[in-house]
């Protein structure tokens, strides 16, 4: 059982716990935006339910009512979905674990974006995969590169992608590439694992169609999550997939933990019955867009010219690129933390095959606008001192 | 990826959903005993916490405060435990999945009780084990039989046991056998997976020492759960193990689902701070003891003489043995359900290697005393009609 550099990750997580450090590290939503009063009401009523059902065991696939509500959310988002195509998960992270468990034997290749979501590499690790990393540009995965890689790795069966506001780069897969990716999946017998935690945190324009909505042969496992649009603490995510895949995922769910928390499912279902999730999402979009602008303005003002950052259309992160030779891990340890008292996630850990240490992921959702200005100014001054 | 007879299990689960069937099938606690008002209070205050922390992400190992509280519960129960030996799980079921994933390669042997907990066989299935099933008697596992099996299966590394009020038989492993089992584990290099969901639902006498408390070489992974002593809906369990094992379990937790629900952990932690869990457990013990007596009285009155049942000192189940040649699955389908409108779990599914169809598991916790009398009378009449 091989694992991804656990000590490095733990050390990073520990940073978030030091209250004297201003952290742009985690992917935390802003706690000030949590709909606390509404959650109070739905938890109160779920616990008070005279049947006691919200406190009891529940079906392993999830509460039927919540599966239907998620199917309706998916359908309204342009991905026609029936309730029996929805499996409730313990966060979408659980879907990453299941997909690798189901589709990847030790030594087989998973295709990932380069860079990719670190948590996915952690989830895939117990399946002991190899990786082929596909370069990213502003339109998402480079599909010419993917096609070359597919020719060289006939054992690749699973491709993992965050098509909307990717973690860590913020890039969104363009519409032509979405169509072409489906075509490549069909021709090369791939399963596409589409992870969409940030999809609804869009700052401008209309959503692009999900890969699932373009799927012609039942090859897409779509993962969604309430973590960024409601609260992370519920650990509520879902998979949508064609029946043969969903049935196997569903068996893994029974085996893994029997079910997701009944109470969290019941309260979330009440929330969706009573409250306007889209209105809440609109609030989040406006707030995170403002925070992104505050951060990018501050970066333009304070960072050295030779540091470039992405300007994502949504999500929680910007991705910084430092000059060649810059080691973002060493700089964090030696300067950013002790001098600027600011944290980010060094970019090296996001590369599945060849770490490029001159990158960093910087989160703009968790901190207040004032703290963003203050932290970026401190980090910028520190960079100017040492670059 | 081989799975345990999923359709049979789903069909059984579906039975519980038909309101016209009086079900002794599931292992559900009595919803009338849930401490709803107390849960209302702790969820209200956790959601209202000004920090927002109970609604945010949390450390993968679990909230530190709750780990310390669980360590204190374990210590008070005679198993000295430090907070860093506790890993919070998504129900103790998750510990079964992790243990098999960590310790069992495809084709290797897991030692299980005969019969054993069906959910464990489901959790172990993705690891593709073989099984060696050790006979049970009134004192738990037959350790002479275990010793013979160990001589024949040198690849066996993991032994799974429910030492207290076993599921499904209700048997409790005697103290001399606990000592001898630890000795056998030491001599044969076994890891003991000690699953204790019913441990605190004891009707008489004092608890026996946990295997973990007798462990001399760090060979026991102890699993505990709030499902039966608080409510199942929180999906809160824990593992206690020596550091080398716990570290590996903890890595699997990050990979599997990142963390258990922060809100459920925070609310449970408040519950333990404010309320007397032992007093609540005393209420449960008295209620379930009464229900067991009502059920056994009714069985003595209504069942044919040739059906024997166990009289457990705790837990949620009695285990019925019918005459040789009786098929409890066929009887359920052909008579108990359509004629008596009563369900139980046919015993065959609990045997890992050689199903013995003339058994059934009958739950006494979920139904009211009146419904127990009514259902057992109907089932007894139906048995007398056909035996």
- Whether residue B4 is predicted with pLDDT greater than 80 in this model: the reply is no
Of A43, A90, A126, the CB nearest to B252: A126
Collect all residues with Cβ–Cβ distance below 8 Å to B148 and sequence separation of at least 6: none
Of A28, A44, A261, the CB nearest to B264: A261
Q: What is the structure's pLDDT at A5?
A: 46
- Whether residue A387 is predicted with pLDDT greater than 90 in this model: the reply is no
- Whether residue A14 is predicted with pLDDT greater than 70 in this model: the reply is no
Give the Cβ contact number of residue B304 at 10 Å: 13
Q: Where in chain B is the domain with CATH 3.40.640.10?
A: 51-274
Closest CA to A46 of A268, A277, A274: A268
| 8 Å CB contact of B55 and A43 | no
| 8 Å CB contact of A36 and B26 | no
Residue pairs spanning A and B at CB distance below 8 A: 179
Q: What is the pLDDT of residues A110-161, one digit of tens each?
A: 999 999 999 999 999 999 999 999 999 999 999 999 999 999 999 999 999 9
C-alpha span between A310 and A62 (Å, rounded): 38
State the architecture of B51-274 in CATH terms.
3-Layer(aba) Sandwich (3.40)
| 8 Å CB contact of B259 and A59 | no
Q: What is the structure's pLDDT at B5?
A: 46
Which of A16, A256, A269 is the best mutation test for B, with the most CBs of B within 10 A? A256
- Strand ranges in chain A using DSSP code E only, listed in sequence order: 22-23, 86-90, 109-114, 130-137, 140-141, 158-161, 191-195, 220-225, 236-240, 308-309, 317-321, 342-343, 345-346, 359-363
- Whether residue A3 is predicted with pLDDT greater than 60 in this model: the reply is no
pLDDT band at A260 (very low <50, low <70, confident <90, very high): very high
Q: Where in chain A is the domain with CATH 3.40.640.10?
A: 39-274
Asked if B162 and B70 touch (Cβ cutoff 8 Å), the reply is no
- What mean pLDDT do residues A299-314 have? 97
pLDDT band at B181 (very low <50, low <70, confident <90, very high): very high
| 8 Å CB contact of B54 and A97 | no
Q: What is the structure's pLDDT at A195?
A: 98
Collect all residues with Cβ–Cβ distance below 8 Å to B256 and sequence separation of at least 6: A90, A93, A94, A97, A123, A256, A257, B90, B94, B97, B98
Distance from CA of A105 to the nearest CA of B (A): 10
| 8 Å CB contact of A53 and B31 | yes
Which of A55, A229, A365 is the best mutation test for B, with the most CBs of B within 10 A? A55
Q: What is the mean pLDDT of chain B?
A: 95
Which of A23, A40, A41, A57 is the best mutation test for B, with the most CBs of B within 10 A? A57
| 8 Å CB contact of A257 and B257 | yes
Chain B hits for A263, CB-CB cut-off 8 Å, are: 231, 233-234, 264
Q: Where in chain A is the domain with CATH 3.90.1150.10?
A: 6-35+279-386
Closest CA to A253 of B91, B346, B251, B8: B91
pLDDT band at B1 (very low <50, low <70, confident <90, very high): very low
Of B13, B32, B55, the CB nearest to A59: B13
Chain B hits for A59, CB-CB cut-off 8 Å, are: 13
DSSP for residue A317: E
- CATH 3.40.640.10 assigned to domain A39-274? The reply is yes
C-alpha span between A45 and A39 (Å, rounded): 10
| 8 Å CB contact of B235 and A257 | yes
Asked if A171 and A139 touch (Cβ cutoff 8 Å), the reply is yes
C-alpha span between A212 and B266 (Å, rounded): 36
Provide the residue count of chain B: 387
| 8 Å CB contact of B233 and A58 | yes
Which of B100, B123, B254 is the best mutation test for A, with the most CBs of A within 10 A? B254
> What is the percent of chain B where pLDDT is above 90?
94
Q: What is the pLDDT of residues B285-326, one digit of tens each?
A: 999 999 999 999 999 999 999 999 999 999 999 999 999 999
Q: What is the pLDDT of residues A179-200, one digit of tens each?
A: 999 999 999 999 999 999 999 9
- CATH 3.90.1150.10 assigned to domain A6-35+279-386? The reply is yes
Chain B hits for A60, CB-CB cut-off 8 Å, are: 13
Q: What is the structure's pLDDT at A90?
A: 97
């Amino acid at each position: 059982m091989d694992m991804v550099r656990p000590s490095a990750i733990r050390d990073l997580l520990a940073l978030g716990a030091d209250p004297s450090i201003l952290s742009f590290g985690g992917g935390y939503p802003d706690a000030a935006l949590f709909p606390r009063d509404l959650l109070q009401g739905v938890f109160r009523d779920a616990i008070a339910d005279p049947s006691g059902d919200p406190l009891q065991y529940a079906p392993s696939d999830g509460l039927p009512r919540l599966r239907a509500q998620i199917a309706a959310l998916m359908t309204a988002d342009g991905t026609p979905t029936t309730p029996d195509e929805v499996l409730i998960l313990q966060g979408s992270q659980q879907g990453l674990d299941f997909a690798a468990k189901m589709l990847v034997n030790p030594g087989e290749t998973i295709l990932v974006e380069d860079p990719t979501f670190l948590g996915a590499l952690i989830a895939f690790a117990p399946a002991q995969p190899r990786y082929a990393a596909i370069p990213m540009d502003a339109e998402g995965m480079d599909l010419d590169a993917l096609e070359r890689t597919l020719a060289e790795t006939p054992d690749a069966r699973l491709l993992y992608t965050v098509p909307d506001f990717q973690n860590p780069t913020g890039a969104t897969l363009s519409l032509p590439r979405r169509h072409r990716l489906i075509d490549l999946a069909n021709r090369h017998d791939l399963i596409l694992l589409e992870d969409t935690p940030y999809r609804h945190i869009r700052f401008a324009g209309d959503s692009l169609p999900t890969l699932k909505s373009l799927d012609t042969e039942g090859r897409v496992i779509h993962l969604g999550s309430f973590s960024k649009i409601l609260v992370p603490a519920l650990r509520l995510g879902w998979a949508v997939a064609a029946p043969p895949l969903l049935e196997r995922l569903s068996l893994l769910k029974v085996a893994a933990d029997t079910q997701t928390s009944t109470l969290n499912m019941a309260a979330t279902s009440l929330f969706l019955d009573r409250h306007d999730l889209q209105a809440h999402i609109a609030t989040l979009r406006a707030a995170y867009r403002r925070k992104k602008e505050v951060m990018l303005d501050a970066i333009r003002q304070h960072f050295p010219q030779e540091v470039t950052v992405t300007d994502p259309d949504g999500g929680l992160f910007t991705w910084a690129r430092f000059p060649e030779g810059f080691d973002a891990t060493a700089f964090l340890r030696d300067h950013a933390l002790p001098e600027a008292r600011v944290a980010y996630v060094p970019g090296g850990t996001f590369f599945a095959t060849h770490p490029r240490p001159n990158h960093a992921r910087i989160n703009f959702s968790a901190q207040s606008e004032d703290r963003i200005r203050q932290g970026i100014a401190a980090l910028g001054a520190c960079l100017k001192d040492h670059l």
